[in-house]
A and B are shown apart, each in its own frame.
Chain A
Amino acid sequence: MDAYISVSNLEKEYVTASREIVHALTEINFEIAEGEFVSVVGPSGCGKSTLLKILGGLLSRTSGTCSLKNTPIDGPRNDVGIVFQDPVLLLWRNVLQNTMLPAEILGLDAKKTLPRAHDLIRLVGLEGFEDKYPHELSGGMRQRNAIIRALIHDPNVLLMDEPFGALDAMTREQMNLELQRIWLESKKTVFFITHSIPEAVFLGDRVIVMTPRPGRISEIITVDIPRPRSLSTMGDEMFVELTQKIRNLLYVEGSLD
């Protein structure tokens, strides 16, 4: 397997306001191939968001190495798009303007990116809402807006931090299907954090299972279910088996209390 993202012996410690040292991540080792969809599942406090921020160049690491396309990650880079737990849309910008934000900041040619923005808006079914502001959109629409904002500058890597955590169950399933479709069309390398075991299995080529205190990888599980997967996949024997296996891993570690 060709390593596109490679993390080895990653450690992260930080000092809290009360001068305590917190060991957030320890002995993190994994590789992600180009175009692969990797889910990360684990309970709160297992350091998954910290891991994502390190990959996004937003946090520094204490020790270990972390590289993308064989260059170390030392800061934010243009070939990475991030989707946060909250959509983090700028409230004074409409759907089109929010989508175009990265293009503006990176100084990309509007002539090229504007048609792309419209394509993306169509891709996630937001056409007709281009001039609507965040307060006029539903939660699902806002998150879709946030996803296409992360795609506008055509990054190779998409980092997603529990993007659907705040959505209701039905919208969430819809978004899972949509994300799979977008991924199949765009073939990005995706690092997807979630709380939900079924979501992790449904979307991932592999699932990284993490346990807390300190955050470490308990196991990496390959999901050998053919694509495109549909919601009925969740009833398949293999799917049920994998989710059960992950659940056991999390319970054995005593982390789901």
Chain B
Amino acid sequence: MVKITVDGKVLEVDESKNLLEEILSQGEDLPYFCWHPSMGSVGSCRQCAVIEYANDEDERGRLNMACMTAPREGARYSIEKAAKFRAQAIESIMINHPHDCPVCEEGGECHLQDMTVMSGHNYRRYDGKKKTHTNQYLGPFIGHEMNRCITCYRCVRFYKDYAGGTDFGPQASHDNTYFGRWQEGPLESEFSGNLAEVCPTGVFTDKPFSKHYVRKWDLQTAPSLCAGCSVGCNTNPGERYGTLRRVVNRFNDEVNGYFLCDRGRFGTGYVNSDERITVSMTRSAHDAAPHLASTDEARSQLQAMAANSIGIGSPRASLEANFALRELVGAENFYAGISTNELAMSRQILDIYRSRPVNIANIKDIEASDAVLILGEDVTNTAARLALALRQSVRNLGKKMARDMKFPEWQDAAIRQLTMDRKSPLYILSAHATRLDDIAARVKIGTAANSARLGFAIAHEIDSSAPAVNGLSADEKELVTTIASALKEASQPLIISGTGAMSQALIAAAANIATALNGADKKANLALVSAEANSMGLALLMESSDNSLDQAMASNAKAAIVLENDLYRRAPASSVDSFINGLDQLAVLDSLKTRTGEQANLVLAAGTFAETSGTFVNYEVRAQHYYSVFKPVDTIRSSAFWLSDKKLSELTQGCADSISGGAGIATLTPGEGFSVSGMKVPRQQHRYSGRTAMRANINVHEPKQEQDEEGILTYSMEGVSALKDATVFNTAWAGGWNSNQSVFKFQSHTGAALKQATKGHCLVENSVSEKTWSEVTDAEKVTGDFEVFPLYHLFGSEELTANTEAIKAKATSAYIAINEADASKLGLQASDGVSVEHNGAVPYIIRSSIAPGTVGIPVGLKGLNFRDLPAAISLQKATDWATPSEWHAANIIVSDKTSVNAENGGEA
């Protein structure tokens, strides 16, 4: 820490950070554009100018960019004295800015607007002509309005440098500079949505949001969570006129930092979908005509049948809802609603986290890791935010080089120059090429069983007390030694695996490696990705591995209550059919129409994450609370309401009491009765407009404001803005900082943890030091022509988000992916389909990096149910083949797709 003087104020700042970051951390306002806390400094926008004085006698000083200045002990700076320069700089920036704020989606939360006001520029003196640019079509997610660009280069620095995108960059020169793709087309990166938040002005905007656009201040928001995968990114969804409008990132340094993936950002449109169940229905038999059930009627029917029915929980329902169902039917009648294998894997992960000497890796740990091994998990498609963090981890070599040369870490461009394409090691063992291959040191293609075998071998190589593997080939031995030594040398090695490959052996191997790396002074980072938003929460509620969906279907029960679960996505259709046919009564609680729901004789309209509150437990067993964003129509209630008479807080307390180590669940919210200056926390911003007109067309007499009986938030604008108390951190806003950049006002230090808000609570405290090992399991021999492995799609594999229009535009129907040699063996021609044993015909794509004799089957895409397939299948060229209308080969973005299949089907 050093002492500096800024405009006469003495500040104590960190000399390893840049001056801009430090000045902002002290609560001062200093305009900036190109600097970003996650992306470092390049000093290109000239907005953060300050005067630096040589010594106490110096009166003139010299102009420096704060973001490119390291604070010196005892130095004197002035923000005020450089005000004129900054005003001139922004005047130049604004010369070509179009006169279109009223029709710009960024208006009202625009960093450029804020900085222009802050710099004092308000009148365009230059009366020459403005430069203009044409726009590009950049796909269904991002709108492009190039005229608004101020060439701060943040988009490129995020898209290329930070997120590793390859199809976007700067073009032309000087004041013609253009940011776009080499030709029009959808952006390929899974993180393109962040451009809308990273861009300080309205060049890149949220396209689905623009279709039903309202200003930031008109959105009713609440601290929420992404329900798209197991990472549990913190989000801030916004509602207006009863529909969910958009999702933006909500900062949490340990979970998602400043960024979200596109599934999380654009995948919530299903909340407004026509497929929503909006009323509860009941019927006497499976085939009788349904009739509407009132809230009381539906609830009492459910309670009446609860006594002798089984309950089937869900990994996408909240902890409270699952708990309420367990309470309702009794723990012995409560089944997890996932396959035996999946339940076993979830419990295995819990067991590993509890009993192995590992550090459960959060995003900060991942970003700080300097050697990574990914075991069979397609992280980009199953837990995308982790993939973005992994891209930062390989830069640790460069940071180390910079440290050795004694220049600061925030010198982004300089470090990139220094590092060139040198990276920290990252190894991938996978059944197919993944989107992280470009940063990987080595990629080994092989089945999950084979990857697991190599994993065990690596563990043994690192620590010889780990169980050994026999029969490695010379190539494999060489790979094992390379990976083992890289991991051993690293100061923070990271092992990533997960349930994606559906292999318990793989997870056991990952655990063994992490255990083996455990040394006197270091713990290996271990991240085991689970399948869905609350998979780990569900596993916590299961007392044994016995109560899986398979057991539920074999239980001969006559009545069943299914909680937010489409059984047809979890088990073979034939067994679900026979299970449901054997039932006298089937009650389904869900938000969207599903095949299971269609056969129920009691359907209860359940709220989505946006309409209810609850707790999700993410892949690192971190429990996080999400608050309802808005109140749906009266007939839609939360699953917890349908299942229990208790209040939500009582259910949360119940979870905390019944889960071992779960006491933290009850501390996620400040608790009932929390208030700031005697008022609850408002969901609406202080500028919320139209309150007395929005419902006036229905009735001019205004209804009472919606009440949130259980929450500590209100559906109104009454209350104190978060600046005073951000314990419940809703939308970031600070005076003069209307954009999401204002988040630094709430952070303990710019870019660091939030001052007051909760980060969630990890339910597993790992303080194990003893090493235990998983035994090497021999892979079961599968019989059949092609061994099946799962493929995941960020857009389409997740059940709920797949119902969103924007996601549908980036998704495709089911297909199979095979090796070129296998394709020619089957005699496949360019536009042929492949008929899958007993499961109809689908299109195919050829991928060069798939092991011969294996076939990739996408999970959750329409047209082929992965669960209907055995471990190995036979394939044939399809006869009478017509390409399905929803088949969009162009939406399959993989690095190893060969050109042959581009003609296959293709775009309409």
Same assembly: no
A-contacting residues of B (Cβ < 8 Å)?
A: none
B-contacting residues of A (Cβ < 8 Å)?
A: none
